[in-house]
Every structure is written in structure tokens, then in C-alpha cells.
Structure 1
């Protein structure tokens, strides 16, 4: 009976993860299908392995976790937050399938995963920080000059810059830049109301 309760808890948890957290924040329909399919697939297979092995399916479930992770991550390129949701869906499926886990412990661990994803992917957490790959129409060999140029260009405070390619012949620089928006940039973001003084 506890196994059926864990199955139901997993379905509720992955539904909340996908439709309550991921899709409202990132709007990628293809990954909604992937997360649901991976979770239910892991739940079914790990549950069958666990019952067939007489309670010894924990190792098999973890092996399945690793194998599916490698296959999935090699098949397409995912952003880091999408990888986090992907592993969360896998973890929820394994927790729901492990009959050796008590119902309360399994439910608590599922809630802990959801709480971490809710807080870690919250829009207000580090909302001013951005990351971009930029192609500049000048060749910068001086790091200080590069940072100063980027700060003028972005009107932001640059925290880290990595030069990925420097082409002296064509005078281009490809950089990976991490920066924080200024207060003026935040006020101009789409969806924010424009102050009455700026509309005049």
C-alpha cells in the first residue's frame, strides 16, 4: 500500500514540478513532454526492478538513473537550469519507485526537491545578473580595455569576461561576459511600467 502512495506522491510532485514551476517560468513545451516521460518511465521501470529483486532494486534504480542521464544529455544540448529540472524529474521517479523508502521519508525528500527548485530557480534570485556570448567588432588584447568597452556597451557592471576567440586579422573578439544590470536597465526591462516622468 505504501508503494502505491509513493507512486501517487511522485505523480503529484512531477506535475507540480513541470506545470507549477518549469513551464510557467521557461515555456518550453518539448521539455514538458521530456520531463513527464522520463519521470513516469523511471517510476515504472525502477518500480518493476525493485519488486522483482525483492527489495534489492535500489542499486538497479541508481544504475538506471546514470544510464538514462548519459543518454539524455548526449542526445541534445540543455541549459543548466534545464539539466537541474531533468535530474529532479529523475530523482522524483526513483524516490517514488523505491519500496525500501518509508512513505514519510519519500514524501519529505520529494518536497525537499520541489522546495530547492522553487527557490533556486526563482525569478527574484540574482535577477539583475546576465550572461551573454558577444562578438565584438574590435580585437581587444588588453583585458582592462575590454572590460571598459563592455561596460560602456552594456551600460552594466561586468563581473567576469572570458575571451573565447581573438581574431587579429578580421579584428573581432568573441567573449563570454557575465554582468549585472544597472538600476536604469532594470527600469527599462520589458513588462515594467514606465515612470510618468519618462513618458513625457
Structure 2
């Protein structure tokens, strides 16, 4: 009877995690299917092994093996990894169903509450992590910070790491962690700052004549 109860608890919990929390916030249907599949699979294996003497060790081993396989199969964002481990943990806790009866329910509820709070829009809403390609080769730290400040007007730059400096093509790839500027509707605020003007491009010295110019010159020579 307990296994049916915890099967229902597991289904409700993974539905809240995948459909109630993840899907409205991040909009990836493929990962919702993945969360459901891995959760139900772990729950079934953990429930089948819960009565054996190696149940806990086998469950933890399954947790680790599935984590390695899943994380090596495709690239995931950090928040997606967090949801993935929560789906694994919910299935494992519900499948093992440790005594007393309220303990697994309390642990699953704690996981959902933490994810609801940690991934909410109110937690550090202006913090960003972005990879930016600059249209010039920037070498010094002071010059890089000054240029990023002009590219990201009003933002507070916390950290920037140069990934590549291309002197041939004149570009720089940098990863930046920053706080975005507060939204402002008034004129002259951060939201109304002017964009950085592009670098001037010089024309080559020997510019070829177009077909139209060539025709005009030919007519004048006649």
C-alpha cells in the first residue's frame, strides 16, 4: 500500500517540478520529457531494490551512473542540471520510502520549496552571465573594462574573463558577469544611453571603377 502512496507522491512531485516550475520559467519541452522519464525510471528501480540488503548502495550507485551518462550526452545549463538532480533525488527518495512515513514527503516538499525560491524571478533579477564578441582586439584590463562599460551602459561589471584575442581579425571574445542597469523610463537614464558608434572603416586606396562610372567616362571621352 505504501508503494502506491509514494508512487502518487512521486508523480505529483515531478509534475510540480517539471510542469509547474521548470516549463513556465524556461520553456524547454524536451527536458520536461527527460525529467519525467528519469524520475519514473529511478523510482521504479529504487522501489524494486528497496527491500533488498543492497538497496541503499545500489540506489546511490544508480544515481551516480545516470548522472554521468546524462551530463555527458549533451550540454546543459547550470539551472537545468539543478532540475535534473532534483528529479533524480525525488525518484530515489520516493522509491526508497524510508521510515517514518512523513520523512520522504517532507524531504520531497523541501526540494520543491528550495527550487521554487532559488529559481524565482525575485532572486538576483539583474545578474547576468554573457559571452560578448567585441569588434576590436583589446589587450589591457583597464581598456577592456572601459569598453565593456560603453557596450553595457549602466551595468555594473563584476568579472570579465578573456577567452580569445584575435589580432588578425581584430576581435575579442570575453565572458562577462554583470548586474544589468535598472529599468528607467525617463530620458537620459541608463535605458536611453546611446549605443557605441561602430569603428570607422577606411576605403582601400585603389578602388575599382563600377560599370556605371566606366560608362559615364567612356561617353565623356567621345
TM-score bracket relative to the smaller structure: 0.7 to 0.9
* Post-superposition offset of 1:4: 2.6
Partner of 1:120: 118
Greater radius of gyration (CA): 2
Cα offsets for 1:171-191 (capped at 9, x unmatched): 211000011111236x69xxx
* Post-superposition offset of 1:3: 3.0
Give the match's secondary structure for 1:184: coil
TM-score, L = length of structure 2 = 0.79
Structure 2, unpaired ranges of 5+: 187-222
Cα offsets for 1:97-144 (capped at 9, x unmatched): 114343200000000000110011001111111111111111111111
* Post-superposition offset of 1:145: 1.2
Partner of 1:177: 176
Asked whether the equivalents of residues 97 and 104 of structure 2 are also in contact (C-alpha less than 8 Å), the reply is: no
* Post-superposition offset of 1:169: 2.2
| Runs of 4+, deviation exceeding 4 Å | none
Partner of 2:56: 58
Asked whether the equivalents of residues 95 and 101 of structure 1 are also in contact (C-alpha less than 8 Å), the reply is: no
CA distance in 1, matches of 2:178, 2:72: 30
CA distance in 2, matches of 1:99, 1:112: 15
Note the 1:127-166 alignment, pairs <5 A.
127-155=125-153, 156-166=155-165
Partner of 2:218: none
* Post-superposition offset of 1:153: 0.7
Size of the alignment, in residue pairs? 185
RMSD in angstroms over aligned alpha carbons?
1.5
Give the match's secondary structure for 2:162: strand
Partner of 2:94: 96
CA distance in 1, matches of 2:21, 2:135: 39
Q: Quick check: which one's helix share is greater? A: 1
Note the 1:2-17 alignment, pairs <5 A.
2-17=2-17
Give the match's secondary structure for 2:183: helix
Partner of 1:37: 37
* Post-superposition offset of 1:45: 1.1
From the superposition, tell whether residues 15 and 88 of structure 1 become closer, same or farther in structure 2 (CA, over 3 Å): same
Asked whether the equivalents of residues 2 and 102 of structure 1 are also in contact (C-alpha less than 8 Å), the reply is: no
From the superposition, tell whether residues 83 and 69 of structure 1 become closer, same or farther in structure 2 (CA, over 3 Å): same
Cα offsets for 1:60-79 (capped at 9, x unmatched): 01100000000000101100
